Structure 1
Amino acid sequence: MMKQIFCTAAVLFLALLAKAQHDNNPGSNHGNKFEQLGTMMHDPNMYRSASGAPGPKYWQQRADYDINVELDDANQKLTGSETVTYYNNSPDPLTYLWLQLDENEHNPKSDNNSFDGSSMSDRMNMRSLSNLLTKHDELGVNIVKVADAGNGKELPYTINQTMMRIDLPKALMPGEKIRFKVDWWYNISDRMTVGGRGGYEYFPEDGNYLYTITQWYPRMAVYSDFQGWQNKQFTGRGEFALTFGNFNVKMTVPADHVVGGTGLCQNYKEVLSPAQYQRWQQAQSAKEPIEVVTLDEAKSAMKGKASAKKTWVYKAENVRDFAWVSSRRLVWDAMATNIEGKKVMAMSYYGQEAYPLYRKYSTKVVAHTLKVYSKHTIAYPYPSAISVEAANGMEYPMICFNYGRAEKDGTYSESTKYGMIGVIIHEVGHNFFPMIVNSDERQWTWMDEGLNTFCQFLAEQEWDNNYPSRRGPADKIVDYMKLPKDQLEPIMTNSENIVNFGPNAYAKPATALNILRETVMGRELFDFAFKEYARRWAFKHPTPEDLFRTMEDASAVDLDWFWRGWFYGTDPVDISLDDVKWFRVDSKNPEVENKFDKAAAEKDAEHISKTRNRAAGIKFAVEQDTSLLDFYNKWDRYAVSPSDKEAYNKMLSTLTPEERKLYEGKVNFYELSFSNVGGLVMPIIIEWTYADGTKEVERISAYIWRKNEQKVTKVFAKDKEVVAVQLDPYRETADIDEANNAWPRHAEPSRFELFKMNRAARGASTGGNPMQKARASK
């Protein structure tokens, strides 16, 4: 019993300690939400400064890759050999190295294939059942050999699920480098049934494959100043922390395949036909996309399978990863775009089923994305950017995979169109976050997905003023923030532990940043600070603290309250307008005040019995016997005498113009009472509607809550009479209850449906296909 009491006390103490770390003044109505983050963030040091910039001794590792790989189209197999040159720029001696083997996520022995709960339902799809029935023992990386690249001596290694440790014969000292070679192979997975970011898609109608080769080679894990080795297992959710370096990659594929990848191809003249190479040359200065590989050429290649092979050679400098696409089914178009004086090739690869959409939009969306993101962050530094239609969405340096297929008749729905444009913007945008501003996705998904979704929103809105953005506007996050607390977690939560992944890691941080830009900081201050963050941390490894500190450092806006509420908490925004009181200065004018007093007295004297007696026609005693009436029955106590008027005029003559304006009743005072129902402090935005029909919007800083985080009153002086008050008129704070935002209160009608609609698959047409219907009616 004593042991149980001790354990209970210990748990309670730890809970109170955890709360104390977040609350500076627990139990009080103030002194918590506006206190500095303090111990919730890592201390600045010589590697990372208190300003949010890299410190004077900042360092990061480098890894260069020389890779030869062959694609076996008959057996869907990839065989590779790579030489890695690893530079130890850290101050630490390293006795072992960690590499990522991400394809092992498909191996049934990896924890990610068993650590999620599952259940049966009345309706099960084949993908769910096949994952239960099929163990996929044939999947995963097979390491053939690990050896020193200089002397050929084998190096011992240990594989722990998706991570491989190479033990070094002697410590790799600071400033030294090591070259080692890894030979490997694996069976390519069917990503349409097994899942995953890379793999193949089979097209039974023509018997061909589309290969999206990603996370395909053993890759160096990050070794950093703030956590040492990032060797957290890849479970399929939290993405990648990677080291920058240079790549030289040779890909041997069937001779009729088209290949696109990270970097620039070094041998187009050898792998393209003369006509294709000429079109490639034309694309270098084209203002409209040119088909380097045409639709007719792709259709022709799909009819046969070449037995010969070709090797495509690509090089990429200062990138963190390499991915590629290979298929004989691909149309390839390209055009040049100017990014702040530098030519960048915007390109797209897609099959015939995506042609109606991708030929019209994809490459132009790529170019638009690069321009908008460059404006808000840094100028795009790479020579190309590729969008590949692959029925999914995933990003890598200079290449990304998206969806967007038309119906067989060439039509498409509006939702498919905008879904495709949105995913292309999003995945191309990932070139900036995290391919350039290289945050740790495995630990903090929001640092790349949230920041990128915010920039995606900016690009969508600059594409079309009527673009139906799903993430970014404040009101779009309300339903998520209304959820019970047991379904929520802070944005500052590890990727693997998030329940509602999309709203938490994508939508909420994007919304928070948009609110920060539009409502809290203003565009000028925000844009400067956000651009400074991108500039400081381009090609480096930032942490959340580096972002938080830079945004404050570059703007002179104290935002600790904002980070605390939006990123470290789960409270929603719900500011209630509880009461409005109207005051005017006593005018001292007897003709005005006496009428006011008389009306008030008559109202005060009225009661239900008096009203009903009068309505009943009762003959009152003083009416039946008039002798009972005296002076007071006839006296008008509110009549204005000459002496009253004289005294008033004399008082007016002593007033200043400002005082006279008050006494003449030309200033109205309104005392508004607010309560913070939701708990998340935010600015108070007030829309005043005046008696003459005009409106005015007034903004009050969130700091109004600093002395009482729960309730506050504030008085406003207005020259005109107010008839209505509305909080958050533009729906910019994500207030979850708009019913308590208005004075006088008014009810808003709501609609409801009699059934629940099944959710469509990602990228699928929803809401019908008006284009198809219009075409059929002709």
Structure 2
Amino acid sequence: MKNLLTGLVFFGLATVPFVTMAQSNTDQSKFKQLQQELPTPNTYRSASGAPGHQYWQQRADYNIKVELNDENQSINGSETITYTNNSPDVLTYLWLQLDQNIFEPNSMANATRTGNLNDRVPIQAVEYMTREKFDGGFKIRTVKDRNGKALKYTINNTMMRIDLPSDLKPKQSFTFSIDWNHNINDQIALGGRSGYEFFPEDGNYLYEMAQWFPRMAVYDDVNGWQHKQFLGSGEFALPFGDYKVSITVPADHIVASTGELQNANQVLTSTQQKRWAQAAKADKPVLVVTQEEATQAEKSKAKGKKTWVYSAKNVRDFAWASSRKFIWDAMNVNVAGKNVLAMSYYPKEGNPLWGRYSTESVAHTLEVYSKHTIDYPYPVAISVHGPVGGMEYPMLSFNGYRPEPDGTYSDRTKYGLITVIIHEVGHNFFPMIINSDERQWTWMDEGLNTFMQYLAEQEWERNYPSRRGEPADIVEYMKSAKNTQVPIMTNSESVLQFGNNAYGKPATALNILRETVMGRELFDYAFKEYSKRWAFKHPMPADFFRTMEDASGVDLDWFWRGWFYTTDHTDISIEGVKWYTIDSQNPEFVSAQKRAEQNKAPQTLSQQRNLQDIKKTRVELRPELNDFYNSYDELAVTAADKQRHQSFLSGLTPKQKEMLDSGLNFYEVGFKNLGGLVMPLIVKMTYEDGTDEIVNVPAEVWRYNNEEITKVFVTEKPVAKFELDPLLQTADTDLSNNYFPRKLAPSRFEIFQQQQRNQPNPMQRQNATQNNNSNNSGR
């Protein structure tokens, strides 16, 4: 215990210190409420975070016909849109999104892209910068009303305004049509959220089609028209509606799509229809189109065309994929008594990984997300493998990761596949159903979804290697330079470190809320309430913040302010510890304790050397120099001492006497907030007997002083050491100051040899070993 002792003081019961700190300036306080930052509640959005009693939202219904040209990688389409004005406002024009215009050579996205050159530049980078400009923007041929009369329209980069021939009043609808075409981008070369992949080995294409048609923009009570330009990061704000889509493709293509297939008897063989019916009742994936059938289609390349018809109810978007290379499997998932088809479409290049894990990952996602949010409401959920690494749409997602050509794969590839499928299928809930404004707030879909992804990953497998969610995983970002960070509450197109800011940090914040601040029971109830309130509606950040507080009864303004409105980080330091015990005033006990302390006191260096160098002191040489004080024992207990003690005891109550003899230890521990982010104090006390105890102190302990506080802990046993955040719950960026006495936090440097690229994965190494053993045994 000596290594902990900074001060040993004996005091009477009446002098136990209760520490209070000066009140912080309320304008600068971390606990200042968010009223000024949040919009004023109204009849559309209530103070509780629920939709108001006059909440409204617009509706857009689509009837679309589109044809894929497999010869020149383009599409031709025509759509009829019926737009219903449910707002209290009179509209004189409509805005549509033309996000494909990001691929126009002179688009704002291309013009504002930044970069730099070094002395050494990869040839691939030069090739990209000097490539022939791809023209993939929308070519609008006609815009007409329902009677075929041309409508005036204006294209502004990725947005198009249609001027209405007459005012569109509340509760009225307007029907119009658009004809268009556009080239499809090579996704491998140009990137993007959709596109095609060409397979030179068999000469076939795989198409993943998204943002492929002019789509209505959102008009709401917060922004009016949400027509902020698409620059590549801020995704999509879209209204709900019903879709009927007819997709014409080469006759041997398989089409995966948002919605339910309406004409299976026209596009599937009788055998495939039987398998599909079997899959609808199966609890494991059933092949609807086999690898052998897909391989045969790759070779034969049948002539002619087929039209696949899909219908989708109450969705905000529509995407599809098409290829003759598709293998297709499906299984049933029971969600609260409702049957949902989980399906996967993938080329043979995805096997064996995709056949084993894709559809099972889809089913798992639906089950876990439904438990924590709302029951999945749609009839299908689909994972498609192609060129897009990961992108989400209603009922359908595009996902990357494939094994090596020999069929082996690394653990990184395996878990990368499961993770991306969970994440993209999970987007059905955020934002496809709980329909936030992605163009403005990326974190409301990516952050919430990444948090849910973490929960689903942990339910997939014990110790799943999740990349995001655990507080320790966000530490490097949180302590990075301030000029490389922006608050989470930053517009999507202006976010720095996109993955950390919009995915990792909000997901970690929610995990800390669930585990450390609120507890699972309160958090899970409030999170589910938010999901139920805003399903098939358009929530804003304030609706989420307010609902989480309203449903849990926990004031979280300090948390939202610190984690979402600032770039502060967690770094709380234990600054010092003082140990106090109660002075029982028993003279015999006090005397014995002081004598023991004197005996334990170490000799100084001078005292040790004097014992050797000074053979005899003068008093030792001349005993007659001794007097009263040479034999006086100042620690001896006298009768007067005992009498004073008895007099003191006679004035105490039985409970006070018990306290006096309890042997309790009082520790005054100082804490300093170095990172600026106020957080709960999770304090682990390890006792001298080796046992330990964790005490959780709410973040409100900082409310009177956000920077430095002291806290008194009372224990029955002496404490050997204090440790802050022992389970790494708060994303503390410096663990070296979390201990008292101080403990060195180890770092490691790695000794390595230069690694050759394209090292074999563990499966390949094992196969090689087995082959060598087999060859040796045959000799």
What range is the shorter-chain TM-score in? Answer: over 0.9
1:446 to 2:443 alignment: yes
Could you tell me how far apart the structure 2 residues matched to 1:657 and 1:362 are?
Answer: 71
1:397 to 2:394 alignment: yes
Q: Gaps (5+ residues) in structure 2?
A: 1-21, 771-779
Q: Gaps (5+ residues) in structure 1?
A: 1-24
Partner residue, 1:376: 372
- Report the CA distance between 1:756 and its aligned residue: 11
Paired amino acid for 2:576: D
1:39 counterpart SS class? coil
Residues 245-267 of structure 1: per-residue CA shift (max 9 Å, x gap): 00000000001000010010001
Which segment is superposed worse, 629-638 or 594-603?
594-603
Task: Select the residue among 561, 583, 606 that pairs with 1:564.
Answer: 561
Partner residue, 2:335: 339
Partner residue, 1:386: 382
Contact 2:582 2:663 survives alignment (8 Å): no
Could you tell me how far apart the structure 2 residues matched to 1:483 and 1:29 are?
Answer: 28
- Report the CA distance between 1:754 and its aligned residue: 5.6
Partner residue, 1:435: 432
Paired amino acid for 1:369: T
Partner residue, 1:367: 363
Residues 503-552 of structure 1: per-residue CA shift (max 9 Å, x gap): 00000000000000100011111111110101010011100000000001
Partner residue, 2:777: none
Which segment is superposed worse, 507-516 or 102-111?
102-111
Partner residue, 2:671: 674
| Counterpart mapping for 1:446-485 below 5 A | 446-485=443-482
| Counterpart mapping for 1:275-424 below 5 A | 275-391=271-387, 392-424=389-421
- Report the CA distance between 1:695 and its aligned residue: 1.1
Contact 2:688 2:717 survives alignment (8 Å): yes
1:776 to 2:776 alignment: no
Task: Select the residue among 741, 744, 767 that pairs with 2:741.
Answer: 744
- Report the CA distance between 1:138 and its aligned residue: 2.7
Could you tell me how far apart the structure 2 residues matched to 1:759 and 1:434 are?
Answer: 42
Contact 2:333 2:342 survives alignment (8 Å): yes
Instruction: Give the number of the structure with larger relative contact order, counting CA–CA contacts within 8 Å between residues 6 or more apart.
Output: 2
Contact 1:30 1:707 survives alignment (8 Å): no
Contact 1:573 1:735 survives alignment (8 Å): yes
1:540 to 2:537 alignment: yes
Residues 47-93 of structure 1: per-residue CA shift (max 9 Å, x gap): 11111111111111000000000000011010000000000111111
Could you tell me how far apart the structure 2 residues matched to 1:489 and 1:109 are?
Answer: 29
Contact 2:24 2:704 survives alignment (8 Å): no
Could you tell me how far apart the structure 2 residues matched to 1:296 and 1:415 are?
Answer: 28
Partner residue, 1:48: 45
Contact 1:673 1:714 survives alignment (8 Å): yes
Paired amino acid for 1:623: E
- Report the CA distance between 1:658 and its aligned residue: 3.9
Residues 548-567 of structure 1: per-residue CA shift (max 9 Å, x gap): 00001111100000000000
- Report the CA distance between 1:690 and its aligned residue: 1.0
Could you tell me how far apart the structure 2 residues matched to 1:137 and 1:156 are?
Answer: 28
Contact 1:221 1:242 survives alignment (8 Å): yes
Paired amino acid for 1:620: T
Could you tell me how far apart the structure 2 residues matched to 1:229 and 1:138 are?
Answer: 28
Partner residue, 1:22: none
Partner residue, 1:131: 128
1:554 counterpart SS class? helix
Could you tell me how far apart the structure 1 residues matched to 2:134 and 2:604 are?
Answer: 87
Could you tell me how far apart the structure 1 residues matched to 2:753 and 2:86 are?
Answer: 57
Residues 275-305 of structure 1: per-residue CA shift (max 9 Å, x gap): 1111001111011100000010011111122
Task: Select the residue among 191, 202, 208 that pairs with 1:206.
Answer: 202
1:194 to 2:190 alignment: yes
Partner residue, 1:660: 657
Could you tell me how far apart the structure 1 residues matched to 2:433 and 2:588 are?
Answer: 74
- Report the CA distance between 1:771 and its aligned residue: 1.6
Paired amino acid for 1:323: A
Contact 2:89 2:170 survives alignment (8 Å): yes
- Report the CA distance between 1:640 and its aligned residue: 2.5
Contact 1:127 1:193 survives alignment (8 Å): no
Count of aligned pairs:
748
Distance 1:376 1:759, change over 3 A: farther
Partner residue, 1:734: 731
Which segment is superposed worse, 744-753 or 336-345?
744-753
Partner residue, 1:20: none
2:293 counterpart SS class? helix
Contact 1:30 1:708 survives alignment (8 Å): no
Distance 1:72 1:605, change over 3 A: closer
Partner residue, 2:263: 267
Partner residue, 1:21: none
1:275 counterpart SS class? helix
- Report the CA distance between 1:654 and its aligned residue: 6.2
1:119 counterpart SS class? coil
Contact 1:101 1:164 survives alignment (8 Å): yes
Task: Select the residue among 135, 154, 157 that pairs with 2:153.
Answer: 157
- Report the CA distance between 1:643 and its aligned residue: 5.3
Partner residue, 1:225: 221
Which segment is superposed worse, 539-548 or 604-613?
604-613
Contact 2:232 2:493 survives alignment (8 Å): no
Which segment is superposed worse, 612-621 or 578-587?
612-621
2:187 counterpart SS class? coil
Task: Select the residue among 567, 583, 586 that pairs with 1:586.
Answer: 583
Partner residue, 1:99: 96
Task: Select the residue among 121, 137, 146 that pairs with 1:140.
Answer: 137
Could you tell me how far apart the structure 2 residues matched to 1:757 and 1:663 are?
Answer: 68
Paired amino acid for 1:86: Y
- Report the CA distance between 1:572 and its aligned residue: 0.3
Could you tell me how far apart the structure 2 residues matched to 1:486 and 1:155 are?
Answer: 48
Could you tell me how far apart the structure 1 residues matched to 2:611 and 2:71 are?
Answer: 102
Could you tell me how far apart the structure 2 residues matched to 1:359 and 1:557 are?
Answer: 45
Could you tell me how far apart the structure 2 residues matched to 1:199 and 1:389 are?
Answer: 12
Partner residue, 2:56: 59
2:616 counterpart SS class? coil
Residues 173-192 of structure 1: per-residue CA shift (max 9 Å, x gap): 11111110000000111011
1:634 to 2:636 alignment: no
Could you tell me how far apart the structure 1 residues matched to 2:265 and 2:588 are?
Answer: 97
Partner residue, 2:234: 238
Paired amino acid for 1:777: T
What is the TM-score when the length of structure 1 is the normalising length?
0.93
Residues 112-149 of structure 1: per-residue CA shift (max 9 Å, x gap): 10212211235545653343213525321100000002
Distance 1:170 1:191, change over 3 A: same
Contact 1:256 1:301 survives alignment (8 Å): yes
Distance 1:754 1:606, change over 3 A: closer
| Counterpart mapping for 1:469-548 below 5 A | 469-548=466-545
2:746 counterpart SS class? coil
Could you tell me how far apart the structure 1 residues matched to 2:464 and 2:575 are?
Answer: 36
2:582 counterpart SS class? coil
Residues 302-326 of structure 1: per-residue CA shift (max 9 Å, x gap): 1122221000000000000000000
1:33 to 2:36 alignment: no
Distance 1:355 1:378, change over 3 A: same
1:291 counterpart SS class? strand
Distance 1:163 1:308, change over 3 A: same
Distance 1:668 1:707, change over 3 A: same
Paired amino acid for 1:631: F
2:434 counterpart SS class? coil
Contact 1:254 1:310 survives alignment (8 Å): yes
- Report the CA distance between 1:661 and its aligned residue: 3.9
Seq. identity, %: 58
Contact 1:109 1:161 survives alignment (8 Å): no
